[in-house]
A and B are shown apart, each in its own frame.
Chain A
Amino acid sequence: MKFAVIVFPGSNCDVDMYHAVKDELGEQVDLVWHDVDNLDQYDGILLPGGFSYGDYLRSGAIAHMSNVMAAVKKAAEAGKPVLGVCNGFQILLESGLLPGAMLRNKNLKFICRTVELTVENNETMFTSLYEKGEKISIPVAHGEGNYYCDDETLAKLKENNQIAFTYASDVNGSLSDIAGITNEKGNVLGMMPHPERAVDDLLGSADGLKLFQSIVKHWRDSHVVNA
């Protein structure tokens, strides 16, 4: 399976993501600059964390106008897995690939620590190797991760099982403790916590690795004969 890690000016978790896929997952991966307009050769798209365009205007607002985002949308429409982490999640929200928006953390602080997440939905291509209700330790590092959407959207997220991860206890004020959501089709996941920083016991936790392994398993099951 071949992944693209999209790099924007100001991305700073791109190399972590690259390392997670190449060295821990053992799959092919390229760092792809934001001005390309074709991602057809890739099977999975990863939008890393950071501060694209210095978070000017709103987090992710400028990045979502990048050339590459049309190709990311095309990949999402084709059903390919698209994962946005932290700033990547914010870009997916700004681009409309996921519903809702991010507000400043409730306590106005940049929160940087490992938190406990609950796997709410393990029937997605990103979470199939977790147990439903499993508690996992994944680091967060953000100032604007306070997820917000209107009541109607929240009801829809719940009804369609689009809430993949929640914080086991309140971290940033997010509505319903939402840490990660998918689109309706289930092939686009945005999450504030950083699974790519939790892929080896040496990093303090390897709980994030199963997320990447789930993506590969899903791809193998549908693309490889006798998988």
Chain B
Amino acid sequence: MYKVKVYVTLRESVLDPQGKAVQQSLSSLGYNGVEDVRIGKYMELQFDDTVTDVEGTVKEVCEKLLSNPVIEDYRYEIEESAKQ
């Protein structure tokens, strides 16, 4: 069993209006030192033992569905996990 954590974020070159609004909100709360906020997505995938190439599969699903390469980057962490 593997637990995979996938982080999808907007590419650096892409403006993030949501992050910008949060940054402005933080600044109006008095947190002037927060220069920039970028908002992304966090996903957890649970793989069973039938998947032999976990890393290859993770890359594949990230590119096919979980992220849109036009505007987003992804990274992932793979952890071995015991059966629940």
Interface residues of A (CB under 8 A from B): 57-58, 61, 65, 93-94, 99-101, 103-108, 146, 148-150, 173
Contacts and interface: CB of A to CB of B under 8 A. Distances in A.
B65 A106 contact: no
Interface string B60-84: 0000011010110000000000000
Contacts of A106: 15, 17
21 contacts: A57-B65, A57-B66, A58-B68, A61-B65, A65-B65, A93-B70, A99-B70, A100-B70, A101-B68, A101-B71, A103-B15, A104-B18, A105-B17, A106-B17, A108-B17, A108-B18, A148-B14, A148-B71, A149-B70, A150-B13, A173-B17
B34 interface: no
Nearest to B21: A108
Interface of B: 13-15, 17-18, 21, 65-66, 68, 70-71
Contact of B68 (A61, A107, A150, A173): A61
A148 B71 CA distance: 8
A65 B14 CA distance: 25
Contacts of A94: 68
Query: Interface of chain A, helix or strand or loop or mixed?
Result: loop
Q: Which 6 A-B pairs have the closest CB atoms?
A: A101-B70, A101-B71, A106-B17, A104-B17, A101-B68, A108-B17
Nearest to A60: B68
Contacts of A107: 17
A148 B70 contact: yes
Contacts of A148: 14, 70-71
A12 to B, nearest CB: 23
A19 B57 CA distance: 44
A40 to B, nearest CB: 27
B14 A103 contact: yes
Contacts of B65: 57, 61, 65
Nearest to B18: A104
Contacts of B18: 104, 108
Contacts of A146: 17
Nearest to B66: A57
* Most chain A C-beta atoms within 10 Å of own C-beta, residue among B13, B14, B71: B71
Contacts of A58: 68
A6 to B, nearest CB: 19
B71 to A, nearest CB: 4
A142 to B, nearest CB: 14
A105 B21 CA distance: 12
Contacts of B17: 103-108, 146, 173
Nearest to A151: B13
A93 B65 CA distance: 13
